[in-house]
Amino acid sequence: MKVLISDSISEDGIQILKNSGLEVFYKPGLSHEELLEIISEFDALIIRSATKVTKEVIEKAKNLKVIGRAGTGLDNVDLNAANEKGIVVMNVPGGNTLSAAEHTLGLLFSLARKIPHAVASLKNGKWEKKKFMGVELNNKVLGIIGLGRIGSIVADRAIGMKMKVIAFDPYVSPEAAEKKGVELVSLEELYRRSDFITIHTPLTKETYHLIDEKAFSMMKDGVYIINCARGGIIDEEALYKAMTSGKVAGAALDVFEKEPIDPNHPLLSLENFIGTPHLGASTVEAQKTVAVEIAKQVVDYLLKGIIRNAVNVPSLPPEFLKIITPILTLAEKMGLLAAQIAEGAIQEIEIIYKGEISQLDVKPITLAFVKGLLFPFLKEDVNYVNALIRAKERHIKIVESKTEISEDFTSLISANIKHTAGYTVVEGTIFGKKEPRIVKINGFRLDALPEGHMLYIFNEDRPGVIGKIGTILGSHNLNISRMYVGHDPMKKTNVILLSLTQPPTPSALKELSELSTVYSVKPLEL
């Protein structure tokens, strides 16, 4: 079988592939057109961040069985297209965690002591001691946005340097943060109090341009900004304005909205700016680790049928996987939905398996639900293998129970999610042999196909409300393909799930939320 490696990886990984007897073609730097021409020959494709595995590439990949990412992020892989063709997509979560955290700390020191600028000055034959006056980190407040694995390591090291560490993470409970020695605060409070702010969150529609002009206006004068997470989280134009005005004393970015960065980018003209070319994972140790691990995973799958660290399929025997796949899809969709309508940090998950499903081994089903629940804020850093580990890291308690009794359906999954703002309850079943359905949300009965772009609306049950909602969506050129309504006649309220042909626009969401009869509106991606 043939393996194509289209990005640079450590020789250690290449050797593992060759030693297994696989035919290896190492072609880093392939253009998109070149990849399209040859991809049909290969059984496996190993990439890093440079190769774009688009739908077009996947459609051309007639023999492709597995895509392996030597790293974590999968922004460059069309997962939907891979799912449709049954291609397993694997990554190496955590392989570069320490390297990314240490790079953040390196930029932290560089900003505080103006090290890169001082080095450049010295190499130009100057001796400018007064010009490069720095600040101490001792007793300074470090604000961390995203207290996941990388953010937690940065917090631990910063506490060791006697910094005061505060953090914002809506998915971490105050108790979990306290155990790390970190004070959990609101995003606004983090902006107000921090001397240094570092970002460790995925790029999502919620975090895109999270740090914008409004955010900078809430920060201390003379704040320092660091981003080793994802480009696009910081509005770079707003950052430039904040730096030239003096609001931001210095910024260090390892990631940019467009990479490679334009040599004429305004930020590069600023003396108080430090930039590195996406080096967070670029250590000898990290690159060796991710290359070796992805090589082993690809070998195990191609030669033994063993699946590890797949983001789109659990590690199960093929015959059982075929039977359980529709249920896994349902569970993951239920988790995705619950995560997007829940408020606050998740504390506990109770899953009850009712009816015929209670006779199955439900562990992979629970994994699928937890993966879906954590995916909106962890993205590719959570998969079927590590979902329970990621939940444990966030001190989320998981309780499973079974009962053979299911009053209304042959099988039913009931999930009760406890969070800091209360409870969210989602129930689902399989219609026929493979059609997932959401049949209850927070007590409201409905029959919803959970897929694509959706809107969750909680509203007052009054004549004309649904008409107004449809009118607003129509005025924004948003087409409703399906509508599901759950009704509570006693409380005179409804839950409406709308399937849309495209994502709702911010302006449409704003107009809907301003309706006096609408209590809440949330866009869903399922």
User: Is 149 a known active-site residue?
Assistant: no
Instruction: Work out the burial of residue 124: count CB atoms within 10 Å of its CB; fewer than 13 is exposed, 13-18 middle, 19 or more buried.
Output: exposed
DSSP character at residue 254: S
Q: What are phi and psi of 129, to 5 degrees?
A: -60, -45
Give the CA distances from residue 195 to residues 105, 146, 254, 257, 358, in Å, rounded to whole numbers and listed in that order.
15, 17, 19, 24, 53
Alpha carbons 405 and 124: distance in angstroms, whole number = 79
Alpha carbons 270 and 485: distance in angstroms, whole number = 54
Radius of gyration in angstroms for the set of CA atoms belonging to the chain, rounded to a whole number: 25
Instruction: Kindly report whether the peptide bond that precedes residue 489 is cis, defined as omega within 30 degrees of 0.
Output: no
Phi-psi map region of 222: left, alpha, beta (phi>0 left; psi -120 to 50 alpha):
left
Which residue among 259, 271, 285, 404 is the active-site one?
Answer: 259
342: Cα within 13 Å, side-chain hemisphere? 29
Instruction: Work out the burial of residue 338: count CB atoms within 10 Å of its CB; fewer than 13 is exposed, 13-18 middle, 19 or more buried.
Output: buried
Asked if 69 and 89 touch (Cβ cutoff 8 Å), the reply is yes
Which residue among 48, 69, 117, 230 is the active-site one?
Answer: 230
**Residue carrying the six token digits 């004429």:** 264
Can you name the residues that pair with 414 across neighbouring β-strands? 352, 427
Give the CA distances from residue 139 to residues 104, 112, 142, 147, 401, in Å, rounded to whole numbers and listed in that order.
18, 13, 9, 20, 48
Strands 183-184 and 164-168: parallel
Instruction: Report which of 335, 322, 327 is spatially closest to residue 373, judged by C-alpha positions.
Output: 335
Which residue among 69, 149, 200, 278 is the active-site one?
Answer: 278
What tokens appear for 402 in the block?
């079974």
Alpha carbons 226 and 154: distance in angstroms, whole number = 12
Alpha carbons 135 and 112: distance in angstroms, whole number = 5
3-state secondary structure of 6: coil
Provide the 10 A C-beta neighbour count for residue 98: 17
Give the CA distances from residue 366 to residues 90, 360, 390, in Å, rounded to whole numbers and listed in that order.
20, 12, 13
User: Is 259 a known active-site residue?
Assistant: yes
Instruction: Kindly report whether the peptide bond that precedes residue 506 is cis, defined as omega within 30 degrees of 0.
Output: no
Work out the angle at residue 183's Cα, subtended by the Cα atoms of residues 187 and 208, and round it to the nearest 5 degrees: 25
End-to-end alpha-carbon separation of the chain, Å? 35
User: Is 390 a known active-site residue?
Assistant: no
Catalytic residues: 230, 259, 278
